[in-house]
Structure 1
Amino acid sequence: MTPDDINAKLATASEALYGEAASLRAVDPRSLSLLKRNARTFDKDTFQQLTANVRADKRLSSMPLCWETPEGLLEVLSGNHRVQAAIEAGLEQILVLVLHGDLSKAQRIAIQLSHNALVGTDDPTLLAELWADIDDIESKLYAGLSSDVVAKLEKIELVGFTTPQVYTRTVSLAFVDDELSHFDAVLEQLEMLSGETVHLAPLSQFERFFSALEGVKKKFEVRNTSLAMLKMCEICEAALAEDVTPDAGAQS
């Protein structure tokens, strides 16, 4: 069945469900217009897991919400990360719910924030920017942010600045069981990761590694795991420079 055939059937169901207010459509996720500013953030591990789930399921578990612009483009209001995961997973078609009619910028932002308020974590500065862009009380009420959150947003001072592009490289550390079957399963999962380098170690060493990492964070008051890893490297380099050799009982 072609996409046109699928959408013809969906049009009938949409009319019965939503009338002229909205419609269900099967679309290529690459054709959708993503939000340029989205207060809802996913950390890299969470997004990779989402992408892996979508790739395994070969579908999205919930529909992104879109709005059809006067030019006929479909703009994603809710579900940007799901659409991006679908693209990364190579899905050719996804099901979306499209809102019809005129929606002001304030109304579109209000819809975005109201959906974001249900799940996930917001970037406070970007959330404050988006909140400031809503210029009418009705849309602010629709966004559904709590009075505590609104009070915090009003205190945020928005300052414009440009951050330099920082080159990063992904290195994955995996701790695996010694059993061959478990090892093979872990390797299959690692193949789905985008990291350029993967280091493997026995699972029995994880507690020792994790304890050392937490110790570095606590001693040097470092919260960021990447910075703590760099600090561990500095400690190792200093020990090597002094030719410090651990005793036999501490070696693995």
Structure 2
Amino acid sequence: MSTDNAQPAGKIRPRLVRRSPRDLTPLPVNARYMRKEEWDRLVENVKADGCLTSVPLIYGAGEYPEGHELILSGNHRTAAAVEAELDEIDCMLIDDPQEKDELLARQLSHNAINGQDDPATLRELYDQIEDVDWRAYSGLDDDQLNLLAEVSPEGLSEANLDFATVSLIFLPNELEAARTAFADARMGQNESWLAARADYDQTLDTLASTHAAHKVGNVATALHAILGIVENHLTDLQAGYQSPDGEPLHTGHVGLETVLGARTLPAPAAVTLNKAIAAAEGRGEIETGQGWRLLERLAGEYLSGPDRTADEPASSA
């Protein structure tokens, strides 16, 4: 039971000592585990070094005899030292009396607070190792290497920024629609997104407004409604590539649905377009696979036709 005078994690005065790895007392319960291939790699590295290059943390304080102290952190390293037939290893000894909570907290903190690797930097460092044996020594396994092979350093420049991750979860029947909408939203962009806090707040506000308007409490359902609104306003995306005076803002490709306002067209119309495009390709008027050039040409001819200017809309029937 805690008291008013209790203080978490009091200051300690650890010191470096040498101990026989065979005589130290392992933890009775250790949350840290190691796969066999990781264990084998650790033992091989200790054998190659002839010592431990990172020291275990042990605890004595009269509760454990000298030379038989409790291993708070480094149980696997100590066992690997035994496997590698080392007679002595360096250890960091805590000899200040500790409460049970303090010991457990120190044990867990050593296992939990490890930081994370920036994949792009990790790949860069790994690629600088030329000798295959030292690459094996690094301990990176096949799974990690396959991950590194897919890393694009240019796309991970935000890895060293302080940002939060927001997860969006969709119901199975809504997932495909969400994928399609997000794919359209990022068309022409790279696949690494970094949103500002203001965007996050705006997203929450939009979700709240949608919840209220549709009287729904499920986030996925609200997002489904938002995606429906986007579908009904696809031509609003023209603002991303067309200026108010009708000039292109960039030369990248855009979705045809932002021009037509729909993702589909009637089959007879599609057949007519297919025939026209095939004929234009066969005559060498457009390159194969660039059917859009025929549409551009036809639109240009329409706009420059008799009694019509580029800024004059066609009258509605």
- TM range, smaller chain: 0.3 to 0.5
- Name the one with the larger strand percent: 1
Quick check: which has more Rg, 1 or 2? 2
TM-score scaled to structure 2, two decimals? 0.31
Select the structure with the greater relative contact order (CA < 8 A; seq sep ≥ 6): 1
